Structure 1
Amino acid sequence: MDIMLFSNGQLPGNTKPLEYGLDWIEGVVERTGVKKLVFIPYAVIRASHDDRTKMVQESLGRFGCEVVGIHQAEDPVKAIEEADGILVSGGNTWVLNKTLHDKGLIGPIRKAVLKQNKLYIGWSAGTNIGSPTIRTTNDMPIVTAAVLPSLNLIPFQINPHYIEASIDGHMGETRDERIEEFLLVNPHEIVVGIPEGTMLHVHDGHLHYYTANGKPLKLFRNQQEAEYFNADDDIQFLMEHSC
């Protein structure tokens, strides 16, 4: 099993999706031998799905991979079944999760990743849906969708694009305060904040943290002081969490 969950798709100065994490991806591609990847761009709102597919192909084509957009497939379920791996773009998590449910793709994706050991690479919204639910997304519910359960590839909640900051003059809640509210209502959950340029990788059940810029992940528990973990720290205990 290989599940790669990136906080975001690009860093400043990058021109291609996942450019900062291509070395990490290359190692997995070489080890697994994946060639055909199905790309799910449903979260993309302000750009063409075809254009985004082309951009991802340009990023991963250097490894000999073929990227096929699921939106172009006559049978999306068959496209997942025939692929060696699954790529899921960032964008709006609500739209993405609703579309996956509407098209009956939650079960097939879970089967492909958890039962057939197909590679899963997601970023931003594509990482949000790897959690049991999308309740810790930063995105606005721009569609009428009360569907919260998602792929449940990992047993804890993720907050991608995590930023530990207060904006001068901004009187709304900080990210930490929003996560604190979530945990007060859901005290048995945990939330992992992963900042820009970072990635969580599950390989054969073992969890590792990668960072392109040295930023640590931040672990939130209800009514406990948050903890920081770096790339070399053991975070396997997160995979043993149950709510």
Structure 2
Amino acid sequence: MNVMLFSNGKIAGNTQILEYGFEWIAPMIEKTQAKKLVFIPYAVIRGSYDERTEQVQQSFAQFDCEIVGIHTCDNPVKAIEEADGVVISGGNTWVLNRTLHDNGLIAAIRKAVLKQDKLFIGWSAGTNVATPTIRTTNDMPIVSAAILPALNLVPFQINPHYIDGSISGHMGETRDERIEEFLVMNPTEVVVGIPEGTMLQVEGDQLTYHSANSKPLKLFRHQSEAVTFAPQEDVQFLMDEGI
């Protein structure tokens, strides 16, 4: 596999989407020679698909990549088959996942990534759908008939935009408490919280963690104290557990 799962699209000081990850994306583009990328903007709610596609094109122009918005394609499945890779935007995970299912793209993307080693890049909602299910998204289920199973490219749940802390005066649950609630109901699963400016990468069968700001990921298990891992630490076991 060649998979890059970013927590978010931008960090402070960035003017382009995934700017903080350009140094990680460059060698992956060179390795895979992925020059034609189909872009999936289905998660975008407060904006237009065309605008987001243009923003992504601006980011990937430096890699000599052509970005094709899947919403402009008559046959979305064929677009995946003909592309060198897939890029999925952040936005609302519930809308994104349902639209992927409605358009018959789950099997097409899984075949492209798992069988043909095509490049997959996602951030935020685009990262959520790479997991077995979207149950650990931060997004509201703003559509009816919501679908939970997702692409299952990695065998563990991810919580993008992870925040380790509480807000003064806020009486609701913290992010840690919400994740703990998930694990009470799903005790055999694990959740990986990735903060802003970070990325999980699968190259071949090797999983690594990268951070533009030295923030660690946080691993949650049922009835266990959460554990943090710095970018240089080994997280390969997450791929080997077969959750």
CA–CA distance in structure 1, aligned partners of residues 242 and 31 of structure 2:
30
- Residue number in structure 2 paired with 1:130: 130
1:157 deviates by: 0.2
Matched, 1:235 2:242: no
1:106·1:151 contact (CA, 8 Å) conserved in 2?
yes
What's the RMSD between the two structures over aligned residues? 0.6
CA distance in structure 1 between the aligned counterparts of 2:21 and 2:196, rounded to whole angstroms: 11
Q: Is the 8 A contact 1:94 1:145 kept in 2?
A: no
* In structure 2, C-alpha distance between the alignment counterparts of 1:3 and 1:85, rounded to whole Å: 10
1:48–1:146 distance in 2 versus 1, CA, 3 Å = closer
Q: Which residue of 1 aligns with 2:6?
A: 6
* 1:159 and 2:159 aligned: yes
Q: In the TM superposition, what whole-angstrom CA distance separates every residue of 1:37-62 from its partner, at most 9, and x where no partner exists?
A: 00000000001100100000000011
Report if the CA contact (8 A) 1:128-1:158 is conserved.
Answer: yes
For the Cα contact (< 8 Å) 1:208–1:234, is it kept in 2?
yes
CA deviation profile, 1:108-134 (whole Å, cap 9, x unmatched): 000000001000000000000010000
CA offsets 1:55-110 (integer angstroms, 9 cap, x no match): 00000011110000000000000000000000000000000000000111000000
- Find the residue that maps to 1:5 and give its secondary structure: strand
Give the match for residue 171 of structure 2.
Answer: 171
Query: 2 CA distance for matches of 1:195 and 1:99?
Result: 26
Match of 2:202 in 1: 202
Secondary structure of 1:209's partner? strand
Asked whether 1:217 is paired with 2:211, we answer no
Task: Tell me the residue number matched to 1:117.
Answer: 117
Q: Number of residues paired by the alignment?
A: 243
Aligned equivalents of 2:157 and 2:63: distance in 1?
A: 31
Gaps of 5+ in 2: none
Which stretch shifts more, 76-85 or 144-153? Answer: 144-153
Runs of 4+ in 1 over 2 A off after TM superposition: none
How far 1:12 sits from its partner (Å)?
1.3
* CA distance in structure 2 between the aligned counterparts of 1:37 and 1:11, rounded to whole angstroms: 23
CA distance in 2: counterparts of 1:129 and 1:201, whole angstroms:
15
Contact 1:36 1:67 in 2 (8 A): yes
Name the CA distance, whole Å, in 1 between partners of 2:53 and 2:162.
26
Helix, strand or coil at the partner of 1:30:
helix
Q: When the two structures are superposed, what TM-score results if normalisation uses the length of structure 2?
A: 0.99
Q: Separation in 1 of the partners of 2:174 and 2:237?
A: 27
The percentage of counterpart residues that share the same residue type is 69
1:96: which partner in 2? 96
How far did 1:30 drift?
Answer: 0.9
What TM-score do the two structures reach when normalised by structure 1?
0.99
The residue type equivalent to 1:199 in the other structure is M
Match of 1:36 in 2: 36
Structure 1 gap segments, 5+ residues each: none
SS at match of 1:152: coil
1:50 corresponds to: 50
Deviations 1:127-149 (A, max 9, x none): 00010000000000000033100
**2:227 partner letter:** E
What are the superposed Cα offsets for residues 130-175 of structure 1, whole Å, 9 maximum, x if unpaired? 1000000000000003310000000000000000111111111000
